[in-house]
């Protein structure tokens, strides 16, 4: 098989001449914006030509559908408008043809020279991803651990979604503050501490299970039954029942009183109590960090900034609202009211105590005014929508929707749905309790390892001669990757069914499938030898061109994902990329092709694909095994 490579002189020259973003879709969009702007005599930056990847390669590489809507808005025939825009638009040497079809679609086909040129521009250490021009930091509220409680399946979503968004911003060069807003202060923690101390429990040898039991017992003991006494009186219950309820209630009130004394001592700075309180946090976080390390998320002690961090700021927050006239007293409590909303926001109770809302307001002020973040993202389940609506509106009243240098701040709540069991109800154990995160992760690792061990028994498998330790490492990577991909590949706000069998499958739209595809490309390149950095990519076959165009979407996909804060966009695209590569590999021999120039080109195209897949998986927090 021979190939005519005379066109390479044109390609090399084109590499020098073309100056554009590696986001080809953005380049086409901007050209069409100017074309529409010129024809309609409107500011081009406000126009959306609606550029999409073409569903049918025979019609072109991209399709622009903006003429339909813009034609109607401006009293013009969409097809006539589209033709005028095509005649007016200067695509430079990027586009081979732009043709109007149907009611006003613009079908666009790129020149092979431009595609090759942009691929070479993309073939850099950063894969052509340019840093965001906005250098303000981003704060992401994620994980949300409560001291003295075990991590459960709900923490899985808040943690991996938040970490993925953080990685995404970091990929664009942004400084990210991962804020693990610990529930480490207040009466519930004081109740646990009081109970442990009253029972002379050694806090230095405390396990998380011990701590979790103490938390539940403290909650139970301190639970009063005022309603029960009132109902018993109304129903003229007998004296024995009343005495029983009063005794129970008296014990609960005593427990509450003792806990309040402990909290007061903590608030007053009692050094011994604060030391013991820190032991509860340390006990909790040791277990948490073990789980988070297994989950491959970038959260450590430096990311802990809990309720206790803001405890000395709460009184000042309430005073600030008062001073600016945004807070008022209501039956001894302090509330913030909003126009056209019946519910007020309570920021101080009638007994002088503060609430979650007060702490969250202090956190917003700190993140925007002291850290200087111009985007604060809260990854918290969908049930908290009303809370964040009030929170963001209250922050805006105070002017915390701008940084100290005057930059507008975007406050974003990323709501997410529940993880469901096979019964389509929130995932629970057989006993009805919440599924712990540790048990979920261990099941994933076990299933991933079992799959890897089974495949390694095949003499033709690349893992056949691996040690048990090596296979277990791959099994862990696959199992954890399977859980994370299954979660992130769904629309975040929707519930999804936890199906481990489907998650660890090596086929279909799963994490292991993409990891396996990446490992196969790695093996292919290893067999092919050193990839020639100076090789010129050649696009002679349709599948080569299809793969090239898919790769050139990477920049745009990442920009789209960070714009909408929807990781499933990246997941879907990575699956499409691996599918496209498989089609390329089946149609275009890489190692067995006779022409050395074509062989070098296809190896380079394969290596670029591998690097993009590894990079994309890393943004999702998923590892890429070299062999599977």
User: For 476-491, what is each residue's pLDDT tens digit?
Assistant: 999 999 999 999 999 9
- Is 430's pLDDT higher than 90? no
86 and 214, same structural domain? no
Query: What is the enclosing helix (H) or strand (E) of 382?
Result: none
CATH number of the domain to which 478 belongs: 1.10.730.10
**Whole-angstrom distance, CA of residue 343 vs CA of residue 386:** 10
Residue ending a domain, among 76, 98, 122, is 122
Return the exposure string of 450-483: e unless at least 16 CB atoms fall within 10 Å of the residue's CB, then b: ebbbebbeeeeebbeebeeeebbbbbbbbbbbbb
569 and 459, same structural domain? yes
Residue ending a domain, among 268, 283, 299, is 268
190 and 109, same structural domain? no
209 and 60, same structural domain? no
Give the model's pLDDT for residue 241: 44
214 and 104, same structural domain? no
Residue 72 lies in a domain: yes
Residue 447 lies in a domain: yes
Q: Which of 240, 220, 224 is nearest to 232 (CA)?
A: 240
Residue 153 lies in a domain: no
**Whole-angstrom distance, CA of residue 456 vs CA of residue 595:** 35
SS3 458: coil
Mean pLDDT, residues 25-53 taken together = 93
603 and 515, same structural domain? yes
Alpha helices in 405-467 (DSSP H): 437-456
207 and 93, same structural domain? no
Query: What is the enclosing helix (H) or strand (E) of 64?
Result: strand 62-64
**Whole-angstrom distance, CA of residue 446 vs CA of residue 452:** 10
Q: Are 539 and 473 in contact (CB under 8 A)?
A: no
Residue 373 lies in a domain: no
SS3 228: helix
Give the DSSP letter of residue 435: P
Query: What is the enclosing helix (H) or strand (E) of 139?
Result: strand 138-142
Give the Cβ contact number of residue 335 at 10 Å.
17
**126-146: per-residue pLDDT in tens?**
999 989 999 999 999 999 898
| Structural domain count, the chain | 3
Give the model's pLDDT for residue 271: 94
- The set of residues, in sequence order, having a beta carbon less than 8 Å from that of 428 and lying 6+ positions away, is 421, 434, 435
- Is 10's pLDDT higher than 90? no
597 and 466, same structural domain? yes
**Whole-angstrom distance, CA of residue 293 vs CA of residue 151:** 13
551 and 454, same structural domain? yes
CATH number of the domain to which 64 belongs: 3.30.1360.70
Confidence band for 150, pLDDT divided at 50, 70 and 90: confident
Residue ending a domain, among 239, 268, 297, is 268
Hey, CA dihedral for 156, 158, 161, 162, is it positive or negative?
A: negative
State the residue range of the domain holding 247.
Answer: 186-268
Residue 92 lies in a domain: yes
- The set of residues, in sequence order, having a beta carbon less than 8 Å from that of 304 and lying 6+ positions away, is 180, 182, 285
Burial (CB count within 10 angstroms: exposed 0-12, middle 13-18, buried 19+), residue 425? exposed
Alpha helices in 366-510 (DSSP H): 385-397, 437-456, 468-488, 500-503
**311-362: per-residue pLDDT in tens?**
999 999 999 999 999 999 999 999 999 998 889 999 999 988 899 999 999 9
Q: Which residues pair with 51 in a beta bridge?
A: 64
Give the model's pLDDT for residue 255: 74
pTM for the complete prediction? 0.88
Half-sphere exposure in the Cβ direction for 131 (13 Å, CA): 8
Q: What percentage of the chain's residues is helix, strand, coil (to nearest 5)?
A: 55, 10, 35
């Amino acid at each position: 098989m021979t190939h005519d490579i005379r066109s390479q002189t044109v390609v090399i020259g084109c590499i020098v001449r073309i100056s554009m973003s590696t986001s080809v879709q953005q380049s086409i969009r901007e050209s069409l914006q100017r074309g529409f702007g010129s024809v309609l005599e409107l500011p081009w930056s406000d126009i959306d030509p609606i550029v999409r990847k073409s569903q049918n390669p025979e019609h072109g590489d991209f399709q622009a559908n903006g003429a339909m809507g813009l034609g109607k808005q401006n009293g013009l025939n969409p097809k006539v408008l589209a033709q005028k825009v095509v005649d007016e638009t200067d695509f430079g040497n990027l586009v081979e043809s732009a043709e109007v079809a149907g009611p006003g679609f613009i079908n666009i086909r790129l020149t092979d020279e431009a595609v090759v040129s942009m691929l070479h521009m993309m073939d850099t250490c950063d894969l052509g991803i340019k840093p965001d021009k906005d250098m303000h930091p981003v704060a992401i509220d994620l994980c949300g651990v409560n001291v003295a409680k075990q991590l459960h399946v709900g923490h899985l979503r808040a943690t991996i979604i938040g970490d993925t968004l953080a990685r995404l911003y970091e990929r664009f060069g942004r400084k990210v503050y991962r804020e693990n807003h610990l529930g480490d202060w207040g009466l519930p923690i004081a109740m646990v501490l009081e109970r442990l101390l009253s029972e002379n429990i050694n806090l230095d040898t405390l396990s998380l299970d011990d701590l979790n039991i103490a938390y539940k017992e403290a909650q139970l003991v301190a639970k009063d039954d005022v309603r029960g006494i009132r109902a018993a009186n109304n129903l003229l219950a007998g004296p024995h029942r009343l005495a029983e309820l009063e005794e129970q209630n008296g014990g609960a009130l005593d427990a509450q009183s003792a806990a309040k004394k402990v909290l007061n001592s903590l608030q007053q700075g009692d050094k011994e109590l604060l030391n013991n309180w820190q032991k509860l946090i340390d006990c909790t976080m040791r277990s948490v960090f073990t789980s988070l390390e297994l989950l491959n998320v970038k959260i450590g002690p430096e990311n802990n900034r809990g309720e206790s961090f803001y405890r000395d700021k709460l009184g000042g927050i309430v005073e600030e609202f008062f001073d600016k006239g945004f807070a008022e007293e209501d039956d001894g409590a302090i509330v913030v009211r909003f126009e056209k909303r019946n519910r007020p926001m309570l920021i101080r109770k009638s007994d002088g105590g503060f609430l979650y809302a007060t702490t969250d307001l202090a956190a917003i002020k700190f993140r925007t005014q002291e850290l200087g973040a111009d985007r604060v993202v809260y990854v918290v389940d969908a049930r908290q929508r009303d809370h964040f609506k009030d929170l963001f509106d209250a922050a805006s009243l105070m002017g915390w929707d701008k940084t100290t240098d005057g930059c507008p701040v975007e406050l974003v709540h990323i709501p997410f749905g529940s993880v469901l069991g096979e019964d389509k109800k929130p995932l629970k154990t057989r006993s009805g309790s919440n599924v712990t995160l540790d048990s979920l992760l261990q099941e994933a690792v076990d299933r991933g390892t079992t799959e890897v061990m089974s495949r390694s028994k095949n003499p033709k498998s690349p893992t056949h001669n691996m040690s048990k330790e090596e296979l277990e490492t791959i099994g862990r990577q696959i199992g954890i990757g399977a859980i994370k991909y299954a979660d992130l590949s769904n629309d975040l706000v929707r519930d999804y069914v936890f199906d481990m069998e489907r998650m660890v499958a090596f086929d279909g739209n799963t994490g292991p499938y993409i990891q396996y595809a990446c490992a196969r490309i790695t093996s292919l390149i290893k067999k092919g030898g050193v990839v020639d950095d100076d090789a010129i990519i050649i696009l002679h076959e349709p599948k080569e061109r299809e793969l090239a165009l898919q790769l050139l979407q990477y920049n745009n996909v990442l920009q789209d994902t960070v714009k909408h804060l929807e990781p499933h966009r990246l997941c879907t695209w990575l699956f499409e990329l691996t599918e496209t590569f498989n089609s390329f590999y089946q149609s275009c021999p890489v190692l067995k092709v006779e022409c050395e120039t074509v062989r070098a080109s296809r190896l380079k195209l394969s290596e670029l694909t591998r690097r993009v897949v590894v990079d994309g998986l890393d943004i999702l927090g998923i590892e890429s095994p070299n062999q599977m």
